[in-house]
Amino acid sequence: MKDKVLIFDTTLRDGEQALMSSLSVDQKLRIARQLARLGVDAIEAGFPVSSPGDFESVSSIAHEIKGPIICGLARTVEKDILACARAVKPAERGRIHTFIGTSGIHAEKKLRKSEDEILEIVKSSVRLARRHCGDVEFSAEDAGRTGIDFLCRIVEDAIASGAGTINIPDTVGYTTPEYFGGIIDELFNRVPNIDKAVISVHCHNDLGMATANSLTAISHGARQVECTVNGIGERAGNAALEEIVMAIKVRKDLFGLSTSIDTKEIMRTSKLIRELCHMPVQPNKAIVGSNAFSHSSGIHQDGVLKAKKTYEIMTPQSVGLKENRMNLTSRSGSHMVRTRLLDLGYSESEFIMEDIYKKFKDLADKKGTVYDDDLVTLMESKSSDDLKDRFVLEFLNVSSGRGTIPTATARILVDGKLYSEAACGDGAVDAATKAIDRIVGYKISIDSFHLEGITEGREAQGRVSMVARASEGVFTGIGTSTDIVEASALAYMNIVNKIARMKKFKRKLPLIGG
């Protein structure tokens, strides 16, 4: 147990409180099920007194989820503690997490209480919570800015009153690793009953140090880390669960510690949170960003082809991804292009590397990223006719709005002949792609859809990039327009034409993309 770091997930409480719109009970249950699958030790499911919806979420999660501790938050106020006790009661293992501000600024300005008054509140609240629940956690809010003498007294009294976990939050993300490690050392050295509780940390990311502060705290003896998936949370967020867990795993040589997390579930959990919370993740986000396992530079790609460990400290599979990604760009070397061609099923005798690499470089200079279908087109096209699009969108009319069924009519030129079709859909984009499908006759499923503004103002241009799969493989399509439905339809047409080319060349691309 001494070597295990407990992972206390607060995505549904600290993470959720920072969202633009709150999650429904059903959405919270879906997330809680996935957190249990991920293997977290505790789920902080909400703040029961704050709203009937939050109460219901905590109580439903407590009813259904087995395995992790189900915890609710409560201020050191009787009605909060009693509501929390009722909400977590159905849990196999319930916990009340009660907190009060302890820093000078919180005591004077927010609470208007003296240190002695705060100490009395802590003692009576922890005792009250213990009368209703065997597992109580106490947090000294803003501990990072609390005087160390007072913090030691608070921690000692909270433990003596029955708290089994003491949480030391850096509420405003103000501390630094060295300073925070010093606080944990002081507590271990000066609080006489410290061995009766688990020391937990809860770091915010205002200065970008939440993960570093949490990891330093565990090196100094903390054994619970409070964190959120993708690092979502108040302001700049909380320490990211995936970063803490993977740092402990990858640097076992340094920490000598472990967690109970099934790291292969990390990506699935991250994607669920993005989707339900409408919170995208920056591409270069550690562990879960879309570029976290992509290699772009020619030198790196060459190194990885020779030995993965040259530029990979963990495998993509260890976080639940299928494989790393090599982006083919003008920086990619000929070794990388040759490897990709062989992966695509070509044999060395089918190409002269020097010629194909020159064509590749010209295309990469024009296009940026060269996808698998571009490489196949480079290899297969015999005349400029092979590069022409088989399908051309001539006309698109979409009607959608509140209270109407989205409907689209598309007219497409197919090998010079005009065809027209209409379709309804779940939204404007869905209706447009269904109308296109009816003319084209391909079976395509969209894996991802991404919209970005590429110019500013009311007439801004939007660029849609889509990833879709068909029996010929996985394709990326891009479309640009001031109208986002049109941009989406153009991205879809881009994919349709790539599929048409693969059919013509009688080629298939790998189904995992590239």
- Interface residues with ligand KIV (CB under 6 A) are 14, 99, 139, 141, 167, 169, 171, 202, 204
- In the list ligand KIV, Zn ion, none, the entry touching 141 (Cβ below 5 to 8 angstroms by class) is ligand KIV
Cβ-closest residue to Zn ion? 14
For residues 14 and 157, which CB has a smaller minimum distance to Zn ion in the complex? Answer: 14
Note whether 448 and 467 are within 8 A (CB): yes
| Identity of the residue numbered 90 | P
Long-range contacts, 388-394 (Cβ 8 Å, 24+)? 389/493, 389/497, 389/500, 390/414, 390/415, 390/497, 390/500, 390/501, 390/504, 391/439, 391/440, 391/493, 391/496, 391/497, 391/500, 392/493, 393/436, 393/489, 393/490, 393/493, 394/418
CB-based contact 288:230 (threshold 8 Å) = yes
10 Å CB burial of residue 116 (0-12, 13-18, 19+) is: exposed
Confirm if 478 and 491 have CB atoms less than 8 A apart: yes
Q: Could you give the dihedral angle defined by the CA atoms of residues 169, 175, 178 and 184, in that order, rounded to the nearest 10 degrees? A: -20
Alpha-carbon distance of 61 to 42, in angstroms, equals: 12
122 or 410, CB closer to ligand KIV? 122
Which residue's CB is nearer to ligand KIV, number 14 or number 156? 14
Q: Which is nearer to ligand KIV, 29 or 71 (CB)?
A: 71
CA–CA distance, 320 with 263 (Å, rounded to integer): 7
Q: Give residues in contact with Zn ion (CB under 5 A).
A: 14
Say how many residues make up the chain.
514
Q: Residue 139 touches which of ligand KIV, Zn ion, none (CB < 5 to 8 A by kind)?
A: ligand KIV
- Shortest distance, CB of residue 106 to Zn ion, whole angstroms? 13
Using DSSP, state whether 248 is helix, strand or coil: helix
Taking the complex as a whole, how short is the minimal distance between the CB of residue 319 and ligand KIV, in angstroms?
26
Least distance from ligand KIV to the Cβ atom of residue 98, Å: 9
Residue 14 or 486 having the CB closest to ligand KIV: 14
Strand 198-203 with 224-227, pairing: parallel
Give the dihedral sign, CA 71/75/76/80: negative
CB nearer to ligand KIV: give 202 or 434: 202
472 binds, among ligand KIV, Zn ion, none (CB under 5 to 8 A by kind): none
User: What is the spatial distance between Cα 513 and Cα 105, in angstroms, rounded to a whole number?
Assistant: 53
CB neighbours of residue 292 within 10 Å: 20
Distance between CA atoms of residues 11 and 423, nearest Å: 40
**Which region, left, alpha or beta, applies to residue 337 given φ > 0 means left and ψ of -120 to 50 means alpha?**
alpha
CB of 353 closer than 8 Å to CB of 331: no
CA distances from 434 to 13, 65, 417, 440 (A): 39, 39, 20, 10
Smaller CB separation from ligand KIV, 227 or 328: 227
Nearer to ligand KIV, 201 or 396 (CB): 201
CB-wise, 14 or 80, nearer to ligand KIV?
A: 14
99 or 351: whose CB is closer to ligand KIV?
99
Q: How far is the CB of 472 from ligand KIV (least distance, A)?
A: 50
**What DSSP assignment string belongs to 136-155?**
EEEEEETGGGS-HHHHHHHH
Count of beta carbons in the 10 Å neighbourhood of residue 447: 12
Output the smallest distance, CB 330 to ligand KIV, in A.
Answer: 46
d(CA 453, CA 451): 7
The listed partner (ligand KIV, Zn ion, none) that binds 200, CB under 5 to 8 Å by sort, is none
DSSP 284: T
Q: Please give the single-letter amino acid code of residue 505.
A: F
Q: How far apart are the first and last CA of the chain?
A: 43
Closer CB to ligand KIV, residue 141 or residue 302? 141
Distance (Å, whole) CA 45 – CA 59: 9
The least CB distance from residue 141 to ligand KIV, in Å, is 4
* Cα(146)–Cα(264) distance, integer angstroms: 38
Nearest CA to 511 among 463, 475, 481, 459? 475
Pick between residue 202 and residue 498 the one whose CB is nearest to ligand KIV: 202
